[in-house]
Structure 1
């Protein structure tokens, strides 16, 4: 999909609606757009600016630059942009951010325009007065002018703080969270069928930075094999850059993330894997780290057993499937690639692929089921959340539980099993589901549906044995097209 812009119809529509409001009212609108690195924030906004047909300024901050350099770079971009209605009113230089933002206000045309400040958290790092200067300029100079102000940032916590109640810009900007491309858009961009589209999405995480390097029509393992000959491939460099940006030093937080990425899911196992020669990480150390990685950094996700009772244990996983794949297999493969051993690198991926994919696809399946239920294309339309269930012994472990709410359900509508293998869903798989499901607290076997989600279909006749619904790759992908 080299150079192509795909998907993002909803996001483009949201930005277009905000620009229409600016045009209709003549007043300014601010939008804070946050999303992880390589998710395509800058590309989305550039596409919007290109389509909008109005003058715009697109300024990108430089990490590590001084406050003086940041101000000077902004002013230089302003002077060279199509924005100024009269370049004669612009000063040759500006001293600080209040001066620079006053110059911006003076340059604004009387017709609608767009101002983009990319990597805004870096400006806040450079200059402690930036947030206050932005708020003052907005309130006094920009809010009643026909300008759409787009504030972009990859530091999710800092971008959330920008508009929180105790910060100067509180209540002044709408918020947009930009996630990766969904599996349907990724498959369309790459020209892949449903099963291959799901594999490609799991490998890439839906990140445009990787998908742009993906040859059209190439299945996931073929792409990975080809990239194993390239030490600088985005397949390696994108997750590596994310890891280094978020965790520049190999501290305890990074060890915890790596433990989860290697497949540890429970608190005890993560503590043991992330510990040192002196023993496992104490709970008083690990629990705050897990909260930080989940709530602040957003690199981990938590899954709790879904039933009518609170359940344990909570399981942890790496939220981004591309980073998850990197920690589980690609990082080891990359070491072989750097040593000029592409065949050995690909063998590492091959050995770990089936087990990794089988677990990694489950969150995607659950999201797809929720979307299908919300769209009314599902036998259990009252379903609002889909999770899984397990006990402390993980016997049984039910892959799919559909209910009316979470984290504690009021009613369970269906349960299911995910089998993402080359073999079909068989009678013994159905029997295991029928045997394990009644152990879920609050489940009524007489009123609960049974479903399977299978890569390779199902053994004939299972509908007569009690299977109510069978989903395949096409159903998983179709849920994202609704």
Structure 2
């Protein structure tokens, strides 16, 4: 944020809140940052080290803002400031309406808690219709490819590891292989690859231990309500719905988990599947969280070897939502003019599981295609894979013998009979247009 303000070449101040900070000390730090900022007339605040209310602190800020030139004020981690003083929300709105909005100032309010930030502008809240909401998305696979200098297939791998988080992507040296990157990054206990998730989760769940535990269970690979409850419970007692449902709602509200339903001509709300939404966090929960003690002992090699042993299996599942989103961005096209939704399908028994279903809507009125994903390092999509796809496609409600079959493969195709095929380069094109 400092870099953004510096590039704007206007006076600015950035206040970074501290979680759990006493409101009085928070205001004192805020005033100190204003006094030492590039804003004009900060001499007016000489000797002002603390104030009793946020109203006074914000009006002191207004006094040093220029009247005839642009300036920028950034309040970073606003939700933490509101935890220390809930009255601040209304106070900030009042001072904005009466004083700050009369000056050419850009007020930027930042928070990593998306659910709380969205509530700030909800109907009935002080900032309703007073600002423009922006969600800073992580880097796309195409942007990760540009930063790492990797070919498309390897860039998707890098995306699964980094989640598109710029701080982690910056550590990936151009053209560096996955194993070389992991060996180098995990050799440093303070690497962003290792600590970013730990810090984020500590901020998100200071007290909600139940939701944090459920997140770890989902991260370990449990996807159904029943299996999550069984693993999140104690001994022979599954976690009761009265405890699991609020935890799942908390995780969904924070956008830490995604909830998938099977796509077909039959509604599938009863067959929901849960997954960690962020690829990086999913990678961290599976491979890195338990390996932190080894890394801190200087034995990162053990963790890297564990990643390599489980990589193929983990990646095969982790790439599926990325492939579906890629196809959803590519379609509709001339081949599939009616396809607006791309998902997967599974029955309650999970047998068979179909990787790809293209349809006109959810639930579907018409199934456009059924498909399979084979994301192997070596080995093409072959005759055996096609036979399995043709068999499993018949189980999808709305599909029949005439439903077109498609396939996605990391390493090419060695069979005829598919209506469409997609490789890493084609999937990456879906993201290039949005880069």
Tell me, yes or no, whether TM beats 0.5: yes
2:406 is aligned to: 451
1:472 is aligned to: 423
Contact 1:305 1:313 in 2 (8 A): yes
From 249, 257, 265, give the equivalent of 1:308. Answer: 265
Quote the Cα distance in structure 1 between the aligned partners of 2:56 and 2:146: 47
Contact 1:261 1:324 in 2 (8 A): yes
1:423 aligns with 2:379: yes
From 45, 50, 64, give the equivalent of 1:107. Answer: 64
From 243, 251, 259, give the equivalent of 2:201. Answer: 243
Contact 1:265 1:316 in 2 (8 A): yes
Structure-to-structure mapping, 1:158-177, within 5 angstroms: 158-177=116-135
Contact 1:227 1:233 in 2 (8 A): yes
Contact 1:403 1:410 in 2 (8 A): yes
C-alpha deviation, 1:80, in angstroms = 2.4
1:263 aligns with 2:221: yes
C-alpha deviation, 1:379, in angstroms = 2.4
2:148 is aligned to: 190
From 219, 223, 230, give the equivalent of 1:272. Answer: 230
1:75 is aligned to: 31
Matched position secondary structure for 2:82:
helix
Quote the Cα distance in structure 2 between the aligned partners of 1:320 and 1:393: 26
Quote the Cα distance in structure 1 between the aligned partners of 2:205 and 2:396: 39
Contact 1:333 1:346 in 2 (8 A): no
Instruction: State the Cα RMSD in Å.
Output: 2.0
- The number of residue pairs the alignment matches comes to 428
Q: CA-to-partner distance for each residue in 1:59-109, whole Å, 9 max, x for gaps? A: 21122222122222222222222222x345546425221112212222222
From 329, 341, 350, give the equivalent of 1:394. Answer: 350
Q: CA-to-partner distance for each residue in 1:369-416, whole Å, 9 max, x for gaps? A: 111126x5x62144322111111122221111122223x223222221
Quote the Cα distance in structure 2 between the aligned partners of 1:250 and 1:341: 32
TM-score, length basis structure 1: 0.84
1:346 aligns with 2:304: yes
Which one is further off, 243-252 or 359-368?
Answer: 243-252
Quote the Cα distance in structure 1 between the aligned partners of 2:47 and 2:226: 61
Which of structures 1 and 2 has the larger relative contact order (alpha carbons within 8 angstroms, sep 6+)? 1
Quote the Cα distance in structure 1 between the aligned partners of 2:207 and 2:102: 45
Which one is further off, 70-79 or 392-401?
Answer: 70-79
Structure-to-structure mapping, 1:26-37, within 5 angstroms: none
Quote the Cα distance in structure 1 between the aligned partners of 2:387 and 2:71: 62
C-alpha deviation, 1:147, in angstroms = 1.8
Quote the Cα distance in structure 2 between the aligned partners of 1:327 and 1:187: 24
Which one is further off, 393-402 or 450-459?
Answer: 393-402
Matched position secondary structure for 1:268:
helix
C-alpha deviation, 1:250, in angstroms = 8.3
Contact 2:150 2:175 in 1 (8 A): yes
Quote the Cα distance in structure 2 between the aligned partners of 1:184 and 1:263: 27
TM-score, length basis structure 2: 0.92
Structure 1 residues 249 and 139: alpha-carbon distance in aligned structure 2, compared to 1, 3 A threshold: closer
From 345, 367, 372, give the equivalent of 1:412. Answer: 367
Q: CA-to-partner distance for each residue in 1:310-342, whole Å, 9 max, x for gaps? A: 114111111111111122122233333233333
1:231 is aligned to: 189
- Unaligned regions of 5+ residues in structure 1, if any? 1-44
Quote the Cα distance in structure 1 between the aligned partners of 2:197 and 2:42: 43
Structure-to-structure mapping, 1:362-401, within 5 angstroms: 362-373=320-331, 376=333, 379-401=335-357
Q: CA-to-partner distance for each residue in 1:219-238, whole Å, 9 max, x for gaps? A: 22221123343333322211
Quote the Cα distance in structure 2 between the aligned partners of 1:345 and 1:87: 51
Which one is further off, 113-122 or 94-103?
Answer: 94-103
Quote the Cα distance in structure 2 between the aligned partners of 1:367 and 1:349: 25
Q: CA-to-partner distance for each residue in 1:411-469, whole Å, 9 max, x for gaps? A: 222221111112111112112222222322223553x432111110111x41xx2x111
Contact 2:346 2:353 in 1 (8 A): yes
Contact 2:35 2:43 in 1 (8 A): no
2:275 is aligned to: 317
Contact 2:393 2:400 in 1 (8 A): no
Structure 1 residues 113 and 476: alpha-carbon distance in aligned structure 2, compared to 1, 3 A threshold: same
Structure 1 residues 53 and 339: alpha-carbon distance in aligned structure 2, compared to 1, 3 A threshold: closer
Quote the Cα distance in structure 2 between the aligned partners of 1:52 and 1:438: 58
Matched position secondary structure for 1:138:
helix
Contact 1:91 1:103 in 2 (8 A): no
Contact 2:73 2:107 in 1 (8 A): yes
Quote the Cα distance in structure 2 between the aligned partners of 1:273 and 1:430: 35
C-alpha deviation, 1:173, in angstroms = 1.4
- Unaligned regions of 5+ residues in structure 2, if any? none
Matched position secondary structure for 2:271:
coil
Contact 2:147 2:170 in 1 (8 A): no
